A = this chain, B = another copy of it.
């Protein structure tokens, strides 16, 4: 195993962003979001994306000097123009804004338009939970999710994240795509020449297919849990697309494929609830709920019950101690980014 040291990765990512014209503070925030996601083991949404973001920063679709700003607000809400900044900067700004207001009133939301792909939704909610808030974050994306019978993709994989603090220092951290599976898993099977399991894909006539090579241009992923997931996907579009004033559905651009000079126009929605304002012993009660589940009797040989976030916390502890075991596609992306920018790739990524 060829583990990459976290410090070295951090230094490289910061240097890459600064080379693209991003200021030190914004670069630090962006790397904090993306690298933590890798530490959690969620490599699909971490520093692998930096190469694509860098292309847009240099192309103009993302503004390296852009700053999110509040364009309208009330006691418990703020409407944020992302200014085509890096969406990790905007996401943290908006979640912090919701938290600031919720500290005063109990609960608040921040909506964001004019943004881009913001990495893992769960980073922002985890940030909120670490500061004593229940957090929710959702975002829309370019359509890739279809339904049986529909001749094409209807909605994005529209992630949904929710976190809650706990007195044991182990917040619940739930983060999932509302599609049955992440696009990355379809790409992997395509590369390996293997069929997808039944129930993952439909073609452009809305008929089932198991051919991963059709995705994303000639096939769509199905929602998780059928109609329930379609409904959740639509909930996310309503909060992050409709309520925010952002682009909706097919008007959202692809941060990976569209010309890098074009803004993508993603929307995000953040909710923060100040736990102890509403329930003074929330942290203790949350820890009690978690403890009851973690210690629930399991069959001989079965794994113990977990709380969402437990696996990621264990991954982070290990990665900080031993370095990160990055998948090949992440290493390739970092090596490519190094080449794009004339930087030296981190050791282990060559």
Contact = CB atoms under 8 A, between A and B. Distances in A.
A70 interface: no
A317 interface: no
A151 B231 CA distance: 31
Interface string A72-114: 0011110100000000000000000000001011111101000
A228 interface: yes
Nearest to A147: B305
Copies of this chain present in the complex amount to 2
B288 A154 contact: no
A197 interface: no
A153 to B, nearest CB: 10
A4 interface: no
B237 A277 contact: no
**Interface extent on A, as a size class?**
35 or more
Nearest to A111: B278
Which label, helix, strand, loop or mixed, suits the secondary structure of the A interface?
A: mixed
Interface stretch (A28-36, A183-191, A243-251): A243-251
Nearest to A72: B278
A243 B283 CA distance: 9
A17 interface: no
Given A74-B106, A109-B107, A238-B164, A297 B152 contact: yes
B148 A302 contact: yes
A79 to B, nearest CB: 6
B289 A238 contact: yes
Nearest to A155: B293
Interface of A: 74-77, 79, 102, 104-109, 111, 134, 147-152, 154, 162, 164, 172, 174, 176, 180, 205-207, 224-225, 227-232, 234-235, 237-239, 241-245, 248-249, 271, 273, 275, 277-279, 281-282, 285-286, 288-289, 292-293, 296-299, 302-303, 305, 307-308
Given A180-B225, A224-B225, 20 more contacts: A75-B75, A76-B106, A76-B108, A109-B273, A134-B243, A149-B298, A149-B299, A150-B296, A150-B297, A150-B298, A154-B293, A162-B231, A164-B242, A174-B232, A174-B234, A224-B224, A225-B229, A242-B286, A243-B279, A248-B292
